[in-house]
Amino acid sequence: MAETQNSRLPIYAVIVTVVFKLLFLLTHYIQEDAFITWRVAQNVLDYGVIGFNGGTKISASTTHLYVFVSYIFNLIFGKEYFIEPLLIFNSILFTIGTLFLSHLLLKNPWHKAIFIFLIGIVPPAIKISILGMEYGILFFLEMSLLYYGFNKGKKWLLTLLPILIMFTRIDTVIFLGIVFLVDVFWNKKIRWNYVFGGILGVLFTVGFNWFYFGEVVNNTITAKKLLYEQQFTFAQNVDYFLVSFGNFWGMLKVPGNFNPITIIVLIFELLCFIYLIRQREKRNYFLWMIFIFGWTKQIIFLSQKSLFDWYYWVPQLLLFVPILIFVLEQKEKRNLWLSLLVIFYIVPMLAFQTIHAIATGNGEWNYRRTIGVFLNKYEKDKKQWILLEPAGYIPYFSRLKTIDEVGLVDKQIQEEIKKDKPNYWINTVKNRKPKYLLSYQNLYEGKNAEYYKTHYKLLKEFRVKDHLKSDNKLLEKIYNLKPSGTDYNLYIRVD
């Protein structure tokens, strides 16, 4: 009876972890890009087209599979009520993924339960679960591949899961490739079901892009490369890498190229990994997979100057895994090791993420969302256009047609960037005459001030400082400790 109860401990840990993380829904901390995906899903609902602005096809979202999942949730719960159920779904899937990972790496049910809870409450895990991005589904699919495909030997899943994984994000080719190489090196043979699945995944994803959108890669990749691409010297590349290294290799996004916490954690991760693989156990097969992937993914994206922190969530977690296993399996003074880890790392990380989520949630939900809500009430004609950046909260809640500065949701602005990059913004305004402009700057100052004064009037100013107050004094202190958001000026065309 006791043995049966113990075997259920990991399942109980999944439930407790999910329930614990649901508290973060109260912060309304949702990533801007999630609203792009959700608007695309609603565009499918309204127009039958994967797009952003009516009947125009565009791969505005980085993830196709998550668009369809979001579409189903919109269909079931309605546009007004689908967000919370979808976030809970993401959190459940992610935590089940950690359950699969615990089965691969640990034997003791108590160790598995503690592993599931502790890895579930560090910052990347919380962000994967509640920020609305596709990584909850992705983590679940990747861990399912390792557990059922490579551990249980389910051949049909070795073929199916790579297709679903690549259809979620095309950059998962890195994960699939590392897993393939480690498997071949370890077993000295090729799993042709997996190779077939990988080939199908590439063909299906690229083929879908080509036949539906007329492009090989997602528009989001093309747009970012077009606007952000610059020529760097070798020294500039090194400096950029060091700054990014300091920000992303640990659990914290801390400015500056020297982050002592990051360096200490990195060294400890390496030492724990070396200690574990020297034990020559069967699980080393999976430890090599996740550790090499974690390093490879971070190095590739850092070298490409990808500063968006969600690219690093899954690698951050997987690189932290050896530390948790090392501490949990200490035969002597395990409780001391575990207490030190929890008190000096897990709890501070959780506290940081809680404060960050409350402050950022205020800046996004209570501030940026109100701009969209204002426009939704002010402008009844939803066929009118707004030029702004970014394309998440404000277009979603305003329901207006949108031109974003980067070109994620509108391809025409990319043509202006190609023709005259320094002046593409003003050229877009002159050529397309959007009814609304939302800018970080005062457009009545600068070289094009006369044009803006003639054709646009200032409709409303939105200021972050106006949203740093709360009846709850603790919340107010957090808002002021880490103000989140950007000041905006909203202009309306007068001719």
> Is 397 in the same domain as 321?
no
Q: How many domains does the chain have?
A: 2
The whole-number pLDDT of residue 249 equals 47
Kindly give, in sequence order, each residue whose CB lies less than 8 Å from that of residue 40, ignoring residues fewer than 6 positions away.
Answer: 50, 51, 52, 60, 61, 67, 70
Let me know whether 223 and 145 are in one domain. yes
Q: Are residues 271 and 378 in the same domain?
A: no
Task: Identify whether 348 is part of a domain.
Answer: no
> Do both 309 and 436 map to the same domain?
no
In a domain, 119, yes or no: yes
C-alpha of 453 from chain center: 39
Do 324 and 237 fall into the same domain? yes
Look at residues 432, 72, 40 and name the one whose alpha carbon lies nearest to residue 219. 40
Task: Please list the rounded mean pLDDT of every run of 10 residues in the chain (495 residues).
Answer: 74 97 95 96 96 94 95 97 97 98 96 97 94 97 98 96 96 97 96 97 95 91 82 74 60 58 82 93 95 91 80 92 95 92 91 92 94 97 95 95 94 93 94 96 93 96 93 92 90 93
| The residue count for the chain | 495
- Half-sphere exposure for 101 (CA within 13 Å, toward CB): 31
Out of 329, 352, 382, pick the residue that ends a domain: 329
* Position 236 in a domain: yes
Asked whether residue 384 falls in the same domain as residue 320, the answer is no
Reported as type and span, the H/E element at residue 461 is strand 456-462
- Cα 395 from Cα 225, distance rounded (Å): 23
Amino acid in position 124:
P
Residue 344 belongs to a domain: no
Q: Which of 329, 351, 385 is the last residue of a domain?
A: 329
Final residue of a structural domain among 306, 329, 352: 329
In terms of residue numbers, what domain contains 451? Answer: 363-493
Residues 47 and 162 in one domain: yes
Return the closest-CA partner of residue 257 out of 238, 268, 275, 244: 244
Q: Which helix (H) or strand (E) holds 352?
A: helix 347-361
Contacts of 30 (CB under 8 A, 6+ apart): 83, 87, 130, 131, 132, 361, 364, 365
256 shares its domain with 395: no
Q: How far is CA 41 from CA 48, 72, 79, 230, in A?
A: 10, 8, 10, 33
339 lies in some domain? no
Sheet holding 488-493, edge to edge: 401-404, 385-388, 436-439, 488-493, 456-462
For residues 322 and 377, state if they share a domain.
no
Residue 293 included in any domain: yes
Residues 82 and 136 occupy one common structural domain? yes
Instruction: Please indicate, yes or no, whether residues 370 and 313 belong to a single structural domain of this protein.
Output: no
- What pLDDT sits at residue 339? 95
Strand, helix or coil for residue 383:
coil
- Per-residue pLDDT at 1: 52
Please indicate, yes or no, if residue 425 is contained in any of the structural domains. yes
Q: Is residue 380 part of a domain?
A: yes
Residues in a beta bridge with 479: none
Same domain for 299 and 374, yes or no, is no
* Prediction pTM value: 0.94
